[in-house]
Chain A
Amino acid sequence: MNQPSEPNPGNRPAPPLWQWTVRAFAGLMLTALLAAASEMFFKKGAMETKDLPCALTWLGFTALQSWWVWPGMLIQILGMASYAAVLRKIPLYIAFSFMSILHVMIPIGARIFFDERISSRRWGGIVLVLAGIWIIAKPASRIEADVKREI
């Protein structure tokens, strides 16, 4: 008579496809929202401190004096953790392609929160960058995987 096997939490059955898709999409959306939010916080902090004197003008050390930058960092770290968790479930190229949504979210955020005027030429450029990322996502992700093996 066979002994009952011990429960093995590492071998749980995979969730149904729809559940997996919803979870992956929610994870990606959360990651994108966190990344966009952190950029808004950084921009706010950078604007507050842009007139402070600094020896290394092209390094924004002075922005650390703004209270907007610190929560921005925390949000970015949360975003990175969320991205790492998502990458355990879905292929890199899908995550990479999806995250290009930031190229639309950030200009819209900049328009809403900082009243940045975005010319049609800039929108045209953003759309081309977006299209380029979509085309390059799969081969770039494959190269990234190859690089990881080669190092």
Chain B
Amino acid sequence: MNAFILFLIILSQFFMVGGQLLIKHAMNFTNLNPKPWPKIVGLFAAGIGSMTVCFFMWLGFLQKLQLSHVFPFEGLSPVILVFGASFFLKEKIDRQCWMGIGLISIGIALVSMS
């Protein structure tokens, strides 16, 4: 697995996490009364768009790589979430998170080399 493929797989996980957050945020607005429909539809559409990009990238990876080789990279999504929160929300990454991130990173490295 070369660096370009690795970059694309990581990028696809960014699209996945972004899409999930947008859809979850849109669903949160459905609890309000009256419902802000333009906001809900806009966020939902953006989330679906982001996840669609990820979906087609994923199909592309499956055409070229083994399923058991690509799938472990899904483990990167919580890592992206934690780093995103640290960068954008200035949340501190605690020791437990660093331990999890470390294990996932070593695991991904092992899978990449296999």
Binding site for B on A (CB under 8 A): 39-40, 42-43, 45-47, 49-50, 57-63, 69, 84, 96, 100, 102-103, 106-107, 109-111, 114, 116, 118-119, 121-122, 124-140, 143-144, 146-148, 150-151
Sort chain B's interface into a size bin.
35 or more
Interface 0/1 of B96-113, CB less than 8 Å to A: 110111111111111111
Contact A143 B63 (CB under 8 A): no
Contact of B71 among A63, A103, A151 (CB under 8 A): A103
Question: Inter-chain contact count A-B, CB under 8 Å?
Answer: 175
For A40, give the chain B residue with the smallest CB separation. B67
Contact A148 B89 (CB under 8 A): no
Contact A125 B111 (CB under 8 A): yes
- 8 Å CB contacts to A: which residues of B55-81? 56-64, 66-69, 71-72, 74-75, 78-79, 81
**Whole-angstrom distance between the alpha carbons of A124 and B113 in the complex?**
11
For residue B62, which residues in chain A have a CB less than 8 angstroms away from its CB? Answer: 42-43, 46-47, 60, 63
Contact B63 A126 (CB under 8 A): no
Contact B111 A126 (CB under 8 A): yes
Contact of A46 among B59, B81, B91, B96 (CB under 8 A): B59
For residue B89, which residues in chain A have a CB less than 8 angstroms away from its CB? Answer: 143, 146-147, 150
Contact B63 A50 (CB under 8 A): yes
Overall SS of chain B's interface: helix
For B65, give the chain A residue with the smallest CB separation. A46
In the assembled complex, the CB of B46 is this many whole angstroms from the nearest CB of chain A, namely 11
B6 within 8 A of A: no
Contact A132 B107 (CB under 8 A): yes
**Whole-angstrom distance between the alpha carbons of A62 and B75 in the complex?**
26
Can you sample 29 A-B contacts with CB below 8 Å? A42-B62, A46-B59, A59-B56, A60-B56, A60-B61, A61-B59, A84-B27, A103-B74, A106-B68, A110-B68, A111-B68, A114-B66, A121-B113, A122-B69, A122-B72, A122-B111, A125-B72, A126-B111, A127-B107, A129-B103, A129-B108, A132-B99, A132-B102, A133-B104, A139-B82, A143-B91, A146-B85, A150-B88, A151-B25
